């Protein structure tokens, strides 16, 4: 086999801001695995929060043996962006070789569309109210927060979208005191989920704290090895392929988390339809699907995922799997 990596840039439709900073483009790596007449591909988003760069992830991928298998991959690379892109490319290659879809090969039921969240980036309250009003027709909005002054933003979004279901992502930006103060207001404003209110290294404060709204582990949950550290802190786990290191581990984490009583959210980094495609299989029946990356772009892959009133649809074979 031949493994190749290219860096691709997708312009965003609008500036995207979270508590850690802003961006105007999505920088991704596209991995292609060629085997004779068959080629599989996958996409990852190196994430600085986890010490990843385009160069470091490229080096990890190009250091793999040309005959790497999905099984061997898990001994050669840690959970993260590099392993994700290769794992997904190998799944796609297997589908191309066999003439079957990935869900058949993985023993999964045929997937259907899932309602996905649409993310409103962090801004001042007036801007966030305007964003919410613009997207009030969507059934599920996700609000990026994570500052000590988020109460006016919450009120503004609810005013802009009075009928939408709302989830909140603090991106590790709150202290325990800020979260405790906000919690009753999350209930009052009809928020149905809050993601990662506290920093991953300081989330012990959640033990014993009242959680009137389900709390979801994002940065605190990467793969199955994360689960023992979540007990008593979280109700939901956010599974992202770039954290688990691919679809293979993501499916295993989903099953393990469910067995331990956690609900599942399936999320994404900001990437193209190629990055979301494998995650649509993972999202079937999830409590929350958050695969809106392509909706935030001004351009996408040539055969993009379909988004409509039914949600995000699984990929055609022309895209992936």
CATH assignment at residue 279? 3.20.20.120
Structural domain ending residue among the three candidates 44, 64, 99: 99
The pLDDT profile of the chain, 321 residues, written as one tens digit per residue, is: 999 999 999 999 998 988 778 889 999 999 999 999 999 999 999 999 999 999 999 999 999 999 999 999 999 999 999 999 999 999 999 999 999 999 999 999 999 999 999 999 999 999 999 999 999 999 999 999 998 899 999 999 999 999 999 999 999 999 999 999 999 999 999 999 999 999 999 999 999 999 999 999 999 999 999 999 999 999 999 999 999 999 999 999 999 999 999 999 999 999 999 999 999 999 999 999 999 999 999 999 999 999 999 999 999 999 999
Catalytic residue among 144, 233, 263, 310: 144
231 counts as catalytic: no
307: left (phi over 0), alpha (psi -120 to 50) or beta: beta
Residue 132 dihedral angles phi and psi, to the nearest 5°: -60, -45
Q: Which two tokens stand for residue 296?
A: 């935030």
Whether residue 230 is contained in a domain is answered as yes
Distance (Å, rounded) from C-alpha 189 to C-alpha 156?
A: 10
Residues annotated within the binding site are 169, 195, 218
pTM (predicted TM-score): 0.96
The CB density around residue 50, as the number of other CB atoms within 10 Å, is 14
What is the domain-level CATH number for residue 29?
A: 3.30.390.10
Residues annotated within the binding site for Mg(2+) are 169, 195, 218
27 counts as catalytic: no
pLDDT digits (tens, 9 = 90+) for 183-208: 999 999 999 999 999 999 999 999 99
Whether residue 184 is contained in a domain is answered as yes
Structural domain ending residue among the three candidates 34, 66, 99: 99
Q: Which domain holds residue 41?
A: 2-99
Whether residue 243 is contained in a domain is answered as yes
71 and 138 share one domain: no
145 and 229 share one domain: yes
Residue 19 is predicted with a pLDDT of: 77
Residue 249 is predicted with a pLDDT of: 98
162 and 288 share one domain: yes
Residue 132 is predicted with a pLDDT of: 97
299 and 208 share one domain: yes
- Name the domain count of the chain: 2
Catalytic residue among 240, 243, 263, 310: 240
Beta carbons within 8 Å of 317's beta carbon, 6+ residues apart: 95, 101
């Amino acid at each position: 086999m031949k493994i190749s990596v290219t860096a691709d840039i997708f312009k965003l439709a609008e500036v995207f801001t979270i508590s850690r900073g802003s961006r105007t483009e999505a920088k991704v790596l596209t991995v292609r695995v060629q085997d004779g007449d068959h080629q599989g591909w996958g996409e990852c988003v190196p994430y600085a929060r986890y010490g990843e760069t385009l160069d470091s992830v490229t080096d990890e991928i190009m250091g793999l043996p040309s005959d790497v298998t999905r099984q061997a991959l898990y001994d050669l690379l840690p959970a993260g962006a590099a392993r994700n892109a290769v794992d997904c490319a190998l799944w796609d290659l297997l589908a191309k070789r066999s003439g079957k879809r990935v869900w058949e090969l993985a023993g999964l039921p045929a997937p259907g569309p899932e309602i996905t969240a649409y993310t409103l980036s962090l801004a001042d309250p007036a801007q966030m109210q305007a964003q919410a009003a613009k997207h009030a027709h969507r059934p599920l909005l996700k609000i990026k927060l994570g500052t000590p002054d988020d109460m006016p933003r919450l009120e503004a979004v609810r005013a802009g979208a009075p009928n939408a279901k709302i989830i909140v992502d603090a991106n590790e930006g709150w202290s325990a005191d800020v979260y405790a103060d906000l919690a009753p207001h999350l209930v009052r404003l009809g928020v149905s989920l809050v993601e990662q209110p506290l920093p991953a290294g300081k989330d012990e404060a959640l033990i014993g704290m009242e959680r009137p709204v389900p709390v979801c582990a994002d940065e605190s949950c990467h793969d199955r090895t994360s689960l023992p550290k979540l007990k008593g802190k979280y109700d939901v786990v956010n599974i992202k392929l770039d954290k688990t290191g691919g679809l293979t581990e993501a499916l295993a984490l989903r099953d393990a988390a469910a067995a331990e009583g956690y609900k599942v959210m399936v999320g994404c980094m900001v990437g193209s339809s190629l990055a979301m495609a494998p995650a649509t299989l993972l999202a079937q029946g999830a409590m929350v699907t958050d695969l809106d990356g392509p909706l935030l772009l001004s351009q996408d892959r040539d055969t993009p995922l379909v988004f409509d009133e039914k949600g995000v649809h699984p990929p055609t074979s022309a895209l992936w799997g």
